[in-house]
Each structure stands twice: as structure tokens, then as C-alpha cells.
Amino acid sequence: MKRLLVATAVIEGAAGVALLIWPSATVGVLAGPTVVLSSVALTLVRLGGAVLLAVGASAGLASRRPESRTARGVVWGMTLYNLGAAGGLCVPKLALSQGGALLWPAIVLHA
């Protein structure tokens, strides 16, 4: 379980930082380069980046004691998040026929 927590900390933390610092470019790589974000969408993307950074931080902290009840709770939360993220990421590709270079890898990573 420690490897899962560490991998989640690194991947989600990096995604969170990318969404906070380069929201348009990050969304472009996932949803496609033709996607233009409004100011409201940029705010929500940055909020999502903060959430991913928090997920990464909680996974990183839980990795210090991977057999604790806290770590198990973090893993359950990550499982729910990953199911929702995989489903949510499928929408641009399947329903809207859009997608960037990293959309399928992101879906597979969360599935």
C-alpha cells in the first residue's frame, strides 16, 4: 500500500501544481488544444488543482504509516476519487468527441 500512496502523492500532487500554475495548458493537454476556458472555468480548474494538491499531500502523509487506519481511509477516498475521475474524464472523449494527448492515459491511470 505504501507504493500506491507514494505514487498517488507524486502524480496527483504534480497534476495539482500544473492545474494551479498552468490551467489552460494543462486542460489543453487533457481535453484538446481547441478548448478555450472562461474566467469562471479557470477559477474552477485552479480549485480542482488545489484539491489534487491536497489529495497528493494526504497520500504522502499517509504513506509514512501505510498500515494505519488513516492510510486505509485515504486509500478508500482515493478509490472513490479515481472512479469519479475516470468517469468524468471519459465524457470529453466519448460524449463530445474531444480529447488531448494525455486524455486516454489519464483515464487508464484512474481506472
The per-residue pLDDT of the chain, averaged, comes to 89
b/e per residue, 33-58, with b = 16+ CB within 10 A?
eebeeeeeeeeebeebbeebbebbeb
The pLDDT assigned to 109 comes to 82
The pLDDT confidence band at residue 30, using thresholds 50, 70 and 90, is confident
Cα distance between residue 95 and residue 111, in whole Å:
18
Q: Which residue has the higher pLDDT, 62 or 30?
A: 62
Q: pLDDT for 64-111, tens place per residue? A: 999 999 999 999 999 999 999 888 888 766 766 777 777 788 888 887
The pLDDT assigned to 96 comes to 66
Average the pLDDT over 43-69 and give the result.
95
Cα distance between residue 43 and residue 50, in whole Å:
11
